[in-house]
Amino acid sequence: MLSAAKDILETESSFRKVVSMWSSGTGGAGIIGAMAYAVLTDPLMLHFTPRIALYCMLIIPLIFAYTPFTSRLQRGLTMYEKLKAVTPLFKYMIPLIIVYFAEYFINQGLLELLEFDCSHGFNIGPQSQYRWYQVLYQVGVFVSRSSSDVIALPGEVLPLLALLQVLNATVLYFEALNRFMSHILLLMCVIVYEGLLGGASYVNTFRVIHEEVGLFEVYEISIDI
């Protein structure tokens, strides 16, 4: 009996590590991808054209093509059981959806409009500014996704993270209209903060789902969704 309990605790601990390591790994991958493209295309660095830079980065999907394909075991839950298991988790999933909507609105809809001249932009050209915005965002994501073992936020805080990210999007929307930030450094700080909020929402949503869902089959379905 004691041995079985010990095995369960060890398994539980390993799942906690998996959530933390997975989140940290995805954050690190974001930094590497964004920084690689910025370095390849920046006029002060390698200065490749975007086309050549993308060709260089195609090595990654080629590596994935050789990754062994593993099929997953089919679990014996019915569709009704799956829906029943997932429905209580909407309170965690909806804030995460809002966070991601606000992030993509910022990163793909607003940041490309926010340019600074060289005297207020660390002598970085307008095109390069957007690339480094993405790097800074990914740095924020990586830091917060790697922090779940140190700072664990309860599920009740997740809607607050969504609200703060929407507030971020609102501030940057009006910045795009009125340009009230005097230097690129201010915008860079906001972008890092945006990444911190997004990463914290991501990792803590997965962590809370893991803690709330008991059965492994249900947990697996919940994480997939």
**Number of structural domains, the chain?**
1
**pLDDT, mean of residues 96-114:** 92
The pLDDT of residue 215 is above 90 = no
Q: Which of 157, 135, 164 is nearest to 39 (CA)?
A: 135
Q: Would 72 be classed as within a structural domain?
A: no
Q: Would 149 be classed as within a structural domain?
A: yes
List the domain range (segments joined by +) for residue 53.
11-64+78-224
Query: What is the CA angle 125-127-129, rounded to 5?
Result: 65
Q: Would 6 be classed as within a structural domain?
A: no
Q: Would 24 be classed as within a structural domain?
A: yes
Q: Would 70 be classed as within a structural domain?
A: no
Look at residue 161 in the predicted model and tell me its pLDDT.
Answer: 95
- Asked whether the beta carbons of 156 and 212 are under 8 A apart, the reply is no
List pLDDT tens digits, range 171-213.
999 999 999 999 999 999 999 999 999 999 988 988 888 777 6
Q: Would 71 be classed as within a structural domain?
A: no
